[in-house]
Amino acid sequence: MLNIKIFKKMKRLKYLSAVIFSTALLFSGCSKEKNDNEKTIETPKVEKTATLEMNKDSLDTKVIDDLKKQIIKRKLKLTTEALSIIGETRSLLQDINNSKKEEAINKGKELIGSLEILLAKDPDLALIPVDVNYQKDELITDVETVRKTAKLAKEAMKKGYYQLAGDLLKGIRSEMIINTYLIPTATYPDAIKLAVKAIIHDENEEPNKAAMNEGKVERLLMNQVSQYDVLDNMMEVENSFNLGDVKYNWAKQMYQVMIGNFWVPEKVSGLTDDATVYKQQLSPAERRAYKGIISFLTFLDSLQTVNLPNFSDYITSSDVNLILSIQSFQEAIHSQSYTTILETVVDAKEREEIYYFWRDDEYLLKRNKFIGDIYQKFIDDPSDRNFFAGIIGNFLLESLYFYNGFAFFDTLAYNSKMIATGRMINYIRRDELTHVAIFANIMKEIKKEFPEMWDEKLINEMFTEAVNQEIEWTHHILGNDIPGISKESTVKYTKYLANTRLAMLNMPPLYPDEMTNPYKHLEAMADNNSEKTNFFESTVVNYTQSSSMKGTWDF
* Residue 283, pLDDT above cutoff 90: yes
* Residue 480, pLDDT above cutoff 70: yes
pTM of this prediction? 0.57
Model pLDDT, residue 219: 26
Model pLDDT, residue 64: 65
> In this structure, is residue 345 part of a structural domain?
yes
Q: How much is the mean pLDDT over the chain?
A: 72
Percent of the chain surpassing pLDDT 90: 31
> In this structure, is residue 232 part of a structural domain?
no
338 is catalytic: yes
Highest mean pLDDT among 139-148, 160-169, 362-371: 362-371
- Residue 479: left (phi > 0), alpha (psi -120 to 50), or beta? left
> In this structure, is residue 409 part of a structural domain?
yes
Distance CA 521, CA 406 (A): 14
**Which among 15, 290, 314, 338 is annotated as catalytic?**
338
Model pLDDT, residue 490: 97
* Residue 371, pLDDT above cutoff 50: yes
> In this structure, is residue 48 part of a structural domain?
no
* Residue 66, pLDDT above cutoff 50: yes
- The count of structural domains within the chain is 1
* Residue 429, pLDDT above cutoff 70: yes
| pLDDT confidence band for 232 (50 / 70 / 90) | very low
Which range (87-96, 173-182, 245-254, 546-555) has the least confidence?
Answer: 546-555
Model pLDDT, residue 65: 67
In this structure, are residues 422 and 412 in contact, taking their beta carbons and an 8 Å threshold? Answer: yes
Which range (59-63, 257-261, 496-500) has the least confidence?
Answer: 59-63
Which range (311-315, 390-394, 536-540) has the least confidence?
Answer: 536-540
Q: What are φ and ψ of residue 392, in 5° steps?
A: -60, -45
Model pLDDT, residue 446: 95
Q: Closest Cα partner for 412 from 397, 427, 425, 431?
A: 425
> In this structure, is residue 498 part of a structural domain?
yes
* Residue 123, pLDDT above cutoff 70: no
Length of the chain: 555
> In this structure, is residue 302 part of a structural domain?
yes
Residue span of the structural domain in which 301 resides = 15-31+261-529
> In this structure, is residue 148 part of a structural domain?
no
* Residue 319, pLDDT above cutoff 60: yes
> In this structure, is residue 115 part of a structural domain?
no
End-to-end CA distance of the chain: 21
* Residue 173, pLDDT above cutoff 60: no
* Residue 445, pLDDT above cutoff 90: yes
CATH number at residue 322: 1.10.620.20
* Residue 161, pLDDT above cutoff 70: no
* Residue 436, pLDDT above cutoff 50: yes
* Residue 447, pLDDT above cutoff 50: yes
| pLDDT confidence band for 102 (50 / 70 / 90) | confident
* Residue 187, pLDDT above cutoff 70: no
118 by Cβ neighbours in 10 Å (0-12 / 13-18 / 19+) ranks as buried
- What is the signed CA dihedral for 58, 62, 67, 71, rounded to 10 degrees? 110
